[in-house]
């Protein structure tokens, strides 16, 4: 029965199944690792060896498939689809967005590996003569493979899927939402809960790996500058201190704490990179940046499929500790970074998102790794600094500080590296806590974040997991754990790809339906239409239109549909601080896409080219499930509103016909029913 009800915004709350399931799994790990440290370390090593030997080929193929998928989607007709309603626009500037991409997606690991990895590949390559010209040329290129397009393809895939399903279709900002085209409403049941629990556990280990690596470098930096001893005790204290700072940052939210810290660190990292560039052999370094980029791009396909199957046991072991570790690490970080990228990318088109998130970090990474990597290789190969080579192979956290000793103002640059490490540490921890809190919450509005208490809780959990992994064997345990936990989630990513294809096909069908069914502004006397075009109604005028035209038109239309056997419902939502209600007509079609026609009042400043008595006026904007339509109903008669309703309804029915009654996306704006959320 069509009805006229009033609803209010419900509060965000904990998702008990996902939260308790994730915490239980993490607690079991913490207890076993801390009580049986030696056995845990042996287990991680054996697990890494088994995964690498059994699934190494699968990791290599999967990473390529993820990247090809996002590139094809970005280049396709669906690239113009917005990650949000059609009327939405980006929340953050390109600079702020780029800084947060960089800080969340790479962070402190770039400091840890920027010198150590290229030098290690020069001294101990998998398939070349060590310390040869060929090894020197390939060292940075091999590093590019581990830090370049392949890994960022994963982040882009997950961020694109989460932003699309959450901001465009109002599903929860959770991994399960990307499986809606495959599972339908079952995403709110046990399968969806299992997917989110897997994502949470994978995310925790991925973040803990980065923080463990970061705290090792931070500890060395403090030892270098202030003689603070390098020990597990000091590292535990540092983790606690940084987690406290990260908690303060995450409480302030994305717009303030995380964004400002990211922008600060981006500028500081850029300054350090330029200092090394201009203090060293600038022309040589620039030549090598270009040479490395060309080698990487020209050999990308071959390198992406190179499993070293013809190069003996040594190369296989190298692949396990380097390439397979990195692919597992990227996969483990994918839920975390993907959700964070979705959170900061609302309003961008898929093409803008794919292009920016793939190539902005890639460009910076390539320049950064080439400048620092080639500077380190030059010290080892041409200046006889054997100490740096030994550190790259045995204590990689020390290499960046050793490199800076051969440049002016080392006391200043060492302090800069330490500050960068601290802030990168904080931005990884705070954005991770924010994402984990969102994963384990039921959030009424996808534009909001989880409650503060939950963010604080996850900050603490991240710290505990990092401590446990360090106790179980340091870097080796961190590497092993992340590869093992990433394996099951890699399968979920393939399911998300299938769901994304199905959803975008339906998106295309909806666009085709709008083009094929003609329609526009309701007819009428041309003078009346001109009056509407120049109308700048005040709140009283808008209220009159709602009362005498929109509300009765929606009710009459819903009643007519009910009489024809349709399920139609009219609701009103009162937003705090706004006296005029949002009105919504929804027509349900079972498991396929609902028809949604919503009218929302918006207070706007009166244009200066239109004479008016007030500085502000009220628009009554029309929103469909896919977003705003740039249509103001002020001044419409009841008949004209019904005419517009019929036009949009015809388009929706034609869309359902084109879609072939596939498992379409939900048309509702809001959260699923209470009982389905608790399933």
Query: pLDDT tens across 25-53, in order?
Result: 888 877 877 788 778 778 877 888 888 88
> Among candidates 176, 185, 148, which has minimal Cα distance to 594?
185
CA dist., res. 463 & res. 456, Å (int):
11
CA dist., res. 104 & res. 654, Å (int):
42
pLDDT mean over 381-389:
94
The yes-or-no verdict on residue 301 having pLDDT over 70 is yes
pLDDT band at 312 (very low <50, low <70, confident <90, very high): confident
Task: Note the pLDDT of residue 674.
Answer: 40
642, 558 Cβ separation under 8 angstroms:
no
CA dist., res. 507 & res. 414, Å (int):
52
Task: Note the pLDDT of residue 1.
Answer: 43
CA dist., res. 260 & res. 316, Å (int):
43
Percent of the chain with pLDDT over 90: 42
Task: Note the pLDDT of residue 415.
Answer: 94
Mean pLDDT, the chain, integer:
84
Residues with Cβ within 8 Å of residue 131, at least 6 apart in sequence:
122, 123, 381
Task: Note the pLDDT of residue 516.
Answer: 60
Task: Note the pLDDT of residue 25.
Answer: 87
Residues with Cβ within 8 Å of residue 150, at least 6 apart in sequence:
63, 64, 67, 304, 327, 330
pLDDT mean over 259-287:
90
Task: Note the pLDDT of residue 473.
Answer: 66
Of 1.10.1740, 1.20.1740, 1.10.150, 3.90.25, the CATH number of 12-506 is: 1.20.1740
pLDDT band at 2 (very low <50, low <70, confident <90, very high): very low
Radius of gyration of the chain (CA): 28
CA dist., res. 220 & res. 311, Å (int):
36
Query: pLDDT tens across 127-153, in order?
Result: 999 999 999 999 999 999 999 999 999
> Among candidates 446, 479, 344, 368, which has minimal Cα distance to 111?
368
CA dist., res. 84 & res. 228, Å (int):
49
pLDDT band at 668 (very low <50, low <70, confident <90, very high): very low
Task: Note the pLDDT of residue 676.
Answer: 38
Q: Which of the two residues, 40 and 157, has the higher pLDDT score?
A: 157
The DSSP call for residue 584 is E
The DSSP call for residue 589 is E
Query: pLDDT tens across 404-451, in order?
Result: 999 999 999 999 999 988 888 777 777 788 888 888 988 766 667 788
pLDDT mean over 152-163:
94
402, 388 Cβ separation under 8 angstroms:
yes
The yes-or-no verdict on residue 660 having pLDDT over 70 is no
b/e code 235-268 from CB counts within 10 Å (16+ = b): bbebbeebbbbbbebbbebbeebbbebbbbbbeb
Task: Note the pLDDT of residue 106.
Answer: 64
Percent of the chain with pLDDT over 70: 85
Task: Note the pLDDT of residue 138.
Answer: 97
The yes-or-no verdict on residue 7 having pLDDT over 50 is no
Task: Note the pLDDT of residue 679.
Answer: 34
- E strand residue ranges, 430-549: 441-442
Query: pLDDT tens across 353-374, in order?
Result: 999 999 988 999 999 999 999 9
How many CB atoms lie under 10 A from the CB of residue 634? 21
Rounded to the nearest 5 degrees, what angle is found at the Cα of 355, between the Cα atoms of 353 and 356?
Answer: 65
Query: pLDDT tens across 216-232, in order?
Result: 888 999 999 999 999 98
- E strand residue ranges, 264-400: none
CA dist., res. 402 & res. 270, Å (int):
19
Phi–psi pair at 603, nearest 5 degrees: -85, 125
CA dist., res. 92 & res. 100, Å (int):
10
Task: Note the pLDDT of residue 11.
Answer: 57
Task: Note the pLDDT of residue 370.
Answer: 97
Give, in order, the Cα–Cα distances in Å from 336 to each of 156, 207, 345, 384: 12, 8, 14, 42
Q: Which of the two residues, 578 and 418, has the higher pLDDT score?
A: 418
The yes-or-no verdict on residue 396 having pLDDT over 90 is yes
The yes-or-no verdict on residue 672 having pLDDT over 70 is no
Task: Note the pLDDT of residue 515.
Answer: 67
Q: DSSP string of 590-649?
A: TTEEEEEEEEEEEEEEPPTTS--SSSEEEEEEEEETTEEEEEE-TT--HHHHHHHHHHHH
Query: pLDDT tens across 319-341, in order?
Result: 988 999 899 889 988 888 888 88
Query: pLDDT tens across 599-638, in order?
Result: 988 876 665 555 555 556 788 888 887 667 778 888 888 9
Query: pLDDT tens across 230-251, in order?
Result: 998 999 999 888 888 888 877 7
Rounded to the nearest 5 degrees, what angle is found at the Cα of 165, between the Cα atoms of 361 and 351?
Answer: 40
300, 358 Cβ separation under 8 angstroms:
no
DSSP SS3 for 406: coil
Q: Cite the residue boundaries of each domain of the chain with CATH code 1.20.1740.
A: 12-506
Stated pTM of the model: 0.80
Give, in order, the Cα–Cα distances in Å from 297 to each of 53, 130, 386, 518: 28, 23, 31, 47
Query: pLDDT tens across 450-507, in order?
Result: 888 898 899 888 888 888 878 876 556 666 777 888 898 899 999 999 999 988 988 8
């Amino acid at each position: 029965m069509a009805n006229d009800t009033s609803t209010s915004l419900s509060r965000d709350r904990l998702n008990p199944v996902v939260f308790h399931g994730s915490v239980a799994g993490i607690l079991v790990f913490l207890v076993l690792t801390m009580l049986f440290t030696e056995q845990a370390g042996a287990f991680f090593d054996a697990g890494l060896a088994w995964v690498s030997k059994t699934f190494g080929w699968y990791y290599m193929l999967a990473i390529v498939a993820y990247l090809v998928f996002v590139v094809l989607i970005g280049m396709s007709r669906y690239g113009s689809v917005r990650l949000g309603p059609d009327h939405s626009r980006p929340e953050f500037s390109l600079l702020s967005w780029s800084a947060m991409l960089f800080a969340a997606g790479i962070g402190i690991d770039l400091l840890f590996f920027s010198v150590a990895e290229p030098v290690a590949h020069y001294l101990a390559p998998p398939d070349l003569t060590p310390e040869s010209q060929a090894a020197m040329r390939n060292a940075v290129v091999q590093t590019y493979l581990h830090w370049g397009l392949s890994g960022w393809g994963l982040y882009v895939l997950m961020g694109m899927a989460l932003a699309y399903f959450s901001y465009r279709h109002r599903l929860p900002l959770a991994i399960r939402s990307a499986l809606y085209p495959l599972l339908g409403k079952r995403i709110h049941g046990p399968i969806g809960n299992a997917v989110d629990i897997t994502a949470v556990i994978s995310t925790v280990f991925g973040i803990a790996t980065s923080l463990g690596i970061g705290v090792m470098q931070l500890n060395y930096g403090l030892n270098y500058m202030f003689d603070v001893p390098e020990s597990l005790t000091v590292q535990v204290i540092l983790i606690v201190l940084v987690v406290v700072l990260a908690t303060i940052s995450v409480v302030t939210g994305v717009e303030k704490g995380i964004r400002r810290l990211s922008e600060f660190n981006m500028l500081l990292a850029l300054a350090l990179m330029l200092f090394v560039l201009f203090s060293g052999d600038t022309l040589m370094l620039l030549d090598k940046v270009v040479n490395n980029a060309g080698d990487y791009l020209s050999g990308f396909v071959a390198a992406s499929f190179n499993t070293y199957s013809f190069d003996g046991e040594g190369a296989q072991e190298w692949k396990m500790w380097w390439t397979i570790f990195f692919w597992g690490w990227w996969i483990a970080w994918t839920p975390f970074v993907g959700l964070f990228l979705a959170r900061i990318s609302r309003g961008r088109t898929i093409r803008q998102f794919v292009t920016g998130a793939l190539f902005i970090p890639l460009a910076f990474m390539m320049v950064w790794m080439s400048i620092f990597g080639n500077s380190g290789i030059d010290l080892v190969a041409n200046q006889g600094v054997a100490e740096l080579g030994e550190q790259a192979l045995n204590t990689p956290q020390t290499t960046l500080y050793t490199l800076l000793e051969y440049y002016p103002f080392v006391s200043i640059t060492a302090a800069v590296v330490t500050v960068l490490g601290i802030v990168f540490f904080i931005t990884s921890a705070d954005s991770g806590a924010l994402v984990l809190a969102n994963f384990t919450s039921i959030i009424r509005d996808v534009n909001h974040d989880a409650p503060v208490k939950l963010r604080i809780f996850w900050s603490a959990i991240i710290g505990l997991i990092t401590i446990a992994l360090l106790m179980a064997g340091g870097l080796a345990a961190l590497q092993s754990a992340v590869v093992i936990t990433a394996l099951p989630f890699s399968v979920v990513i393939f399911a998300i790809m299938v769901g994304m294809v199905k959803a975008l096909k339906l998106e295309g069908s909806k666009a085709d339906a709008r083009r094929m069914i003609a329609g526009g502004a309701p007819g009428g006397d041309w003078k009346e239409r001109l009056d509407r075009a120049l109308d700048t109604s005040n709140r009283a005028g808008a209220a009159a239109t709602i009362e005498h035209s929109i509300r009765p038109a929606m009710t009459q239309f819903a009643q007519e549909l009910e009489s024809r056997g349709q399920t139609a419902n009219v609701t009103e939502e009162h937003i705090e601080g706004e006296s005029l209600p949002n009105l919504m007509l929804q027509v349900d079609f079972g498991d396929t896409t609902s028809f949604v026609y919503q009218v929302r009042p918006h207070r706007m400043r009166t244009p200066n080219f239109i004479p008016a008595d007030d500085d502000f006026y009220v628009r009554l904007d029309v929103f469909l499930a896919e977003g705003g339509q740039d249509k103001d109903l002020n001044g419409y008669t009841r008949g004209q509103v019904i005419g517009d309703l019929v036009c949009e309804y015809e388009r929706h029915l034609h869309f359902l016909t084109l879609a072939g009654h596939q498992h379409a996306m939900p048309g509702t704006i809001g959260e699923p029913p209470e009982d389905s959320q608790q399933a």
